[in-house]
Amino acid sequence: MLTGLVRSGKRASELLRLFEPVPQLLKNVRYDGGAPLEQDSVKQAIAEAERELGGNGRLVIRPSGTEPVIRVMAEGDDAAQVELLVDRICDAVRAAS
């Protein structure tokens, strides 16, 4: 493997790149108690975001284990879409708390 790297004349970061990074965004939403992730409006916002991603990205939405914060993360091929989806979910969490 190392011999092939030297022969290629390329940098290791070029030759060994195993994946292309995609746009990712994480935002934290503070809430005033309760369980905003159990609200139908928040569940609907998450389901709509998943449909819009259509298998070309992922969502991770979870409560913090140490503070009253919901962590909303999305990644996908389109940075503008990722930001829009995260903002929509954050808005839904704010409205539900």
Q: Range of 87's domain?
A: 22-96
The answer as to whether 44 is a domain residue is yes
Residue 72 lies in a domain: yes
Asked if residue 7 is part of any domain, the answer here is no
Q: Is the pTM of this model over 0.75?
A: yes
Q: State how many domains the chain has.
A: 1
- Is residue 60 assigned to a domain? yes
Summarised one tens digit per residue, pLDDT across range 44-93 is: 999 999 999 998 999 999 999 999 999 999 999 999 999 999 999 999 99
Domain containing residue 51: CATH number: 3.30.310.50
In a domain, 32, yes or no: yes
43: Cβ contacts below 8 Å, ≥ 6 apart: 37
Distance (Å, rounded) from C-alpha 45 to C-alpha 34? 18
pLDDT of 15: 66
